[in-house]
Amino acid sequence: MARFKILRIDPEKIDDRVIEEAARDVLEGKLVVFPTETVYGLGANAFDEQACREIFRVKGRPPDNPLIVHIAKSFDLYRVARDIPELAWKVVERIWPGPVTIVLPAGDMVPKAVTGGRETVAVRMPAHPVALRLIEKSSPLAAPSANKSGRPSPTTAQHVIEDYAEDDVELTILDAGPTYLGVESTIIDLTKIPPILLRPGPFTIEELEKALGVRIVVPQFAKGLGEADSALSPGVKYRHYSPRTHLILVEAESYDDMLKCIRDLLLSFSKQGKKVAILATIETNRELRTRYPDIEGLYEWIQLGSRANPYTVASRLYDALRALDKAGVEIGIVESFEERGLGLAIMNRLRKAAHSIHRA
């Protein structure tokens, strides 16, 4: 059975006594779950090798999949990285704190457990007041997303509690309510020229190219397609974000084709007597109902925000994937989005979460 120490904290009125208690736990080598602007992280003192190893055990994470080091002050970059390129300082000045992680040559102080034995380290400065305060009061934190390996990332403390309730773990959890953005940070590899996108995130490629004044290479695997180059991005070879329920992602040339395809799938599953839930935006649910009255009552709707504002889709995404497992259905169907702006990150996560992709 898990032992949780749950510390509630208001991110708009931070109680330093609460932070200090969590900071003490970090410095004693314990694991502390903390909020960031993207998702909750499972943190340990980044310079404490043993504590960092414990993250891998608790999460069930393969040891060759490295962790992100979270810092609160730009000069901490010197403690975790070396040969810091000019572009990194542009990220510091123009983007941080914010949801962009940079890969740099690793400094000597960073334990092998954090880097997965690589020569590089991933670093970011999160834009969440609770995360920043905790790091200031303790140490840079090595942290993956706090979900159990393979599960959707947690956007609430409750998600974390669900994942570990049955496990032999001891966790301090700083509960600051839901995170703001809902998908994990954008990762770019700055050890390469031009930089390479390793994972799309809330900070879009379009915005990054503008802020940094460089072109960024977007490999196929960053879209969630094709074979991953694990030499470049160790995380991509592992299954991610998956609900337990069989999830089908529907992709099509046009929105109309996509709607029709969802309806055809639904009718065919209904004939087989299978219960289905559809993860769909408000607009798509409405269109399905008005265009195809024959599907009324054949599915449960799990709300996925609004197509008019992709940020609402991102922030609902992981909670919707978790809701699918609680819906008591055999099949989930999810709509697709245009791969522009935030849509690139949403589609990357959906392709990795889905058990099959249905192309209309």
Residue ranges binding Mg ion (CB under 5 A)? 145
Nearer to ligand TXA among residue 38 and residue 281 (C-beta): 38
3-class state of residue 37 by DSSP: coil
Helix residue ranges, H only, the chain: 16-27, 49-59, 77-80, 86-94, 112-115, 129-137, 157-164, 205-212, 255-271, 282-291, 310-326, 342-353
Q: How many residues does the chain have?
A: 360
Residue 200 contact among ligand TXA, Mg ion, none, beta carbon within 5 to 8 Å by kind: none
Q: How far is the CB of 338 from ligand TXA (least distance, A)?
A: 23
| DSSP character string of 311-349 | HHHHHHHHHHHHHHHHTT-SEEEE----SSTHHHHHHHH
CB of 328 within 8 A of CB of 281?
no
Give the Cα separation of 327 and 323 in Å (integer): 6
Nearer to ligand TXA among residue 233 and residue 245 (C-beta): 233
Cα 313 from chain centroid (whole Å): 13
Q: How far is the CB of 151 from Mg ion (least distance, A)?
A: 9
- With a CB cutoff of 8 Å and minimum separation 6, the contacts of 186 are 99, 100, 101, 197, 199, 200, 201, 202, 203, 204, 205, 208, 345
Interface with ligand TXA includes 184 (CB under 6 A)? Answer: yes
Residue 84 contact among ligand TXA, Mg ion, none, beta carbon within 5 to 8 Å by kind: none
Nearer to ligand TXA among residue 185 and residue 245 (C-beta): 185
How many residues bind to ligand TXA according to rule CB under 6 A? Answer: 27
Q: Of 51, 100, 141, 198, which one interacts with ligand TXA (CB under 6 A)? A: 198
Interface with ligand TXA includes 66 (CB under 6 A)? Answer: yes
Interface with ligand TXA includes 115 (CB under 6 A)? Answer: yes
CB of 120 within 8 A of CB of 105?
yes
Binding mask 233-272 for ligand TXA (x = CB under 6 A): xxx-------------------------------------
Give the Cα separation of 240 and 200 in Å (integer): 14
Residue in the shown chain whose Cβ atom is closest to ligand TXA: 235
Strand order in the sheet with 299-303: 299-303, 276-280, 331-334, 246-251, 356-359
CB of 20 within 8 A of CB of 174?
no
Residue 67 contact among Mg ion, ligand TXA, none, beta carbon within 5 to 8 Å by kind: ligand TXA
Give the Cα separation of 319 and 46 in Å (integer): 29
Q: Of 45, 139, 185, 315, which one interacts with ligand TXA (CB under 6 A)? A: 185
Interface with ligand TXA includes 208 (CB under 6 A)? Answer: no
Interface with ligand TXA includes 156 (CB under 6 A)? Answer: no
Nearer to ligand TXA among residue 203 and residue 299 (C-beta): 203
Q: List binders of ligand TXA among 122-141 (CB under 6 A).
A: 122, 126
Interface with ligand TXA includes 348 (CB under 6 A)? Answer: no
Give the Cα separation of 110 and 44 in Å (integer): 13
Nearer to ligand TXA among residue 160 and residue 288 (C-beta): 160
Binding mask 25-54 for ligand TXA (x = CB under 6 A): -----------x-xx-x-------------
Residues near ligand TXA, by CB under 6 A: 36, 38-39, 41, 65-68, 99, 101, 103, 115, 118, 120-122, 126, 143-145, 184-185, 187, 198, 233-235
